[in-house]
Structure 1
Amino acid sequence: MPFEAVSFTEVSTEGLESSPVAEALAGLRANEARYFSDKYKHTFTVAPAAEAQDVLDWVEEILVSEREIVPTSPALEISINDIDGIYWVHVLYQSGLAINVLWTLADDGKRAVGFKLSEGMDVPPELSAFKFARPKSKLAGEIRGSFFKIKGDPLP
């Protein structure tokens, strides 16, 4: 599966052109790339979601089993990262939604799902029960974010 590095110095909408908020989603993706570079010295890479269907199925199974959430937008890209014992998957959806699953591999580790909404998109109905923080980003504008802890054990 050909993963491509995401630049956080030159924001590109490549791969996200079908999104009505492609510029904002590209900024959100670049913001994630900067975070991984700064915090972990790790290159954030993405591939078309269709090329990682098994990983997309895993993420969406967690959403259904934990909170009965079914994304209503097509997935565009996936990023798979394994850093310092943390398995971290990001899925970027056409609507502008970005979902990440953080799965610490230690038995007592953190396991959570995070949601980020690109600037300009409405809160999708499936996430209407969540409250969103509103941090600002130079790359992505206002990012509305929320999360929940995973209680089950759906290993990747």
Structure 2
Amino acid sequence: MSYAVDFKNVSTVGLESSPVADALAGLRANEARYFKNKYDYTFTVESAGDAKATVDWVHGILEQERDIVIASRPLEATEFEVDGIRMAYVFYESGLSINVMYTLADEGKRAVGFKLSDGMEVPEELASRFKFARQKSKLAGTIRGSYFVIKNEH
């Protein structure tokens, strides 16, 4: 079942098993607000089990590009296209959010972004590879983020 994320009334629906569920819900709502304001797109997620193809695509990029395997269990995912960009998000039980921005044009921008919910530790599989910058959000508290550029076709 899909869930349209409400950024005005933040809910932990689908994220309840996370030890940082409130912060992860805020992070998810922060993304929903961004896409509504920038693209007038309603950010909708579904359970990771129902979005297996999306989760597999994101995990495949991580493995092929950087030999990264995420230890945490994926809870929710979404994939959509806006303004010629294929977007995918996976939200994990640990509080981690991974997004893939993949422009469909040959000469576009393609990157993987990592965001850490307020209160979670940096996952071991990312700690030695990335430095995380801090950003304040009214919905999500302090978000720590990092990214890498995708070099291959996926």
Instruction: Tell me the equivalent position of 1:63.
Output: 62
Deviation, 1:83, is: 0.6
Q: What amino acid sits opposite 2:133 in the alignment?
A: A
RMSD: 0.6
Match status 1:88 vs 2:90: no
Tell me how far apart the structure 1 counterparts of residues 119 and 126 of structure 2 sit (CA, whole Å). Answer: 16
Deviation, 1:57, is: 0.7
Displaced runs of 4 or more, over 4 A: none
Instruction: Tell me the equivalent position of 1:112.
Output: 111
Deviation, 1:80, is: 1.2
Q: Deviations over 1:44-85 (max 9, x none)?
A: 000000001111111101000101110000000001121111
Q: What is the correspondence of 1:21-32 to structure 2 with a 5 Å cutoff?
A: 21-32=20-31
What count of residue pairs does the alignment treat as equivalent?
Answer: 153
> TM-score, structure 1 length as denominator?
0.96
Q: Deviations over 1:76-124 (max 9, x none)?
A: 0001121111100000000000000000000101110000000000000
Deviation, 1:22, is: 0.1
Instruction: Tell me the equivalent position of 2:134.
Output: 134
> TM-score, structure 2 length as denominator?
0.98
3-state secondary structure, aligned to 1:20: coil
Q: Percent identity?
A: 63
Structure 2 stretches lacking a partner, 5+ long = none
Instruction: Tell me the equivalent position of 1:153.
Output: 153
Instruction: Tell me the equivalent position of 1:4.
Output: 3
Match status 1:54 vs 2:53: yes
3-state secondary structure, aligned to 1:95: coil
